[in-house]
Amino acid sequence: MDKPIIAITMGDPLGIGPEIIIKSLQNSEIYDICIPVVVGDLKVLAVTNDLIKSELKINEIKSDFIKDDIQYGEIHCIDLDLIANDFKLGEVTAEAGNAAFHYLKKAVDLAQKKQIDAICTAPLNKEALHKAGHVYPGHTEILAKLTGTKHYSMMLSVENLNVIHVTTHIGLIEAIETVTPDKVYQTIILANNVLKNSGIQKPKVGVCGINPHAGENGLFGYGEEDSKITPAIKDAQEKMIDVQGPLPADTLFFRAKRGDFDVVVAMYHDQGHGPVKVMGLEGVNVTVGLPIIRTSVDHGTAFDIAGKNLASDTSMKAAIKKAMELSSYKARDEH
């Protein structure tokens, strides 16, 4: 099978995105499994390349001429040239926020035209994004808008633990109000499908409750488990999905890590993110439900260390490998 072409978007070019991209592409095993192409600003890559004393060669390419013979030792960049020459790493600017948006938009266009097989994104900054007039909570919502996707979710993946979210970037009170049987059901379906597409024939799905102890039979909360979660689980079980819940979140994550479940369905952002972040920065963010494949690092732009050669590329390497894995399974399904 031909190696998949992975478009790596630079994210906010003034954050650590350029650094972790270059560092990840210093590893020859990345070139063994895929064809990486960076979508961003070549000048920022070049400056960062010098700052971290990398010996990689950076080449500009046109999006219509992505080569399949890219070799280790070189980075091919689709240069959108959106950043002025006097840029300063570590700053929050509208210019960089706008650039991050258009890097992603370009990658989505390439994916929809089947010129690439998957997208892997470096982090963007929400403040910079909003300064530029792109008022989205983050990558996930932009991708949903650009692809016209109605049912989607964020799944975090670390070793032996996958976590998918019913709600993400909204306040806790709003999140609880937003949880509905239909949203829970759709998230269970998305979780089941993405794991099946990654090679797990019969995924085991565990669903968190909202309240402590999953409500303890009505002792805590106002019956949210019975009204919002249980109906969705019953509907999913009728579709022959192996799903259990609602279960107490404080023990469900331990059980999933132990191997009892392949994926945990979290009701809100911190319920799912907390356990994953405790395990370190090796996590991968997968946007589930899109017509295209997108993975991302599980950390932010870290402006405080941008350009200082301190950023770890561990999550970026994992995200590129996950993009390759998912695109390879998709290719198998389509043939």
Q: Domain spanning 1-150+284-335: which CATH class is it, in words? A: alpha beta
Q: What is the pLDDT of residue 328?
A: 62
193-197, 212-216, 308-312: which is most confident: 308-312
Helix 17-24 × helix 314-334 angle, to 10°: 70
Lowest mean pLDDT among 49-58, 89-98, 178-187, 211-220: 211-220
**pLDDT above 80 (res 142):** yes
- Band (pLDDT 50/70/90 cuts) for residue 1 is very low
Secondary structure (DSSP) of 282-318:
--EEEEES-SS-EEEESS---GGGTTTT----HHHHH
- Band (pLDDT 50/70/90 cuts) for residue 330 is low
- Band (pLDDT 50/70/90 cuts) for residue 218 is confident
**pLDDT above 70 (res 308):** yes
Q: How far is residue 295 from each of residues 199, 273, 308, 317, measured CA to CA in Å? A: 17, 16, 25, 11
Residues of the chain with CATH 3.40.718.10: 1-150+284-335, 160-278
How large a percentage of the chain has pLDDT more than 70?
95
Lowest mean pLDDT among 34-43, 121-130, 290-299: 290-299
Tokens at 210, concatenated:
């909202």
Contact between 268 and 302 under an 8 Å Cβ cutoff? The reply is no
Please give the average per-residue pLDDT across 295-317, as a whole number. 93
**pLDDT above 50 (res 24):** yes
Q: What is the pLDDT of residue 153?
A: 87
Please indicate whether residue 218 or residue 185 has the higher confidence score (pLDDT).
Answer: 185
**CB 323: neighbour CB atoms within 10 A?**
29
Between CA 188 and CA 208 the distance in angstroms is 11
- Band (pLDDT 50/70/90 cuts) for residue 333 is very low
Please indicate whether residue 198 or residue 123 has the higher confidence score (pLDDT).
Answer: 123
Q: What is the pLDDT of residue 332?
A: 39
CATH for the stretch 160-278: 3.40.718.10
pTM as predicted: 0.85
Q: What is the pLDDT of residue 280?
A: 64
End-to-end CA distance of the chain: 11
151-155, 216-220, 221-225, 255-259: which is most confident: 255-259
Environment class of 184 (CB within 10 Å of its CB; exposed 0-12, middle 13-18, buried 19+):
buried
Q: Which stretches within the chain are classed as H helix?
A: 17-24, 28-33, 42-51, 94-112, 126-131, 139-147, 172-178, 181-197, 224, 230-238, 249-258, 269-278, 314-334
**pLDDT above 50 (res 335):** no
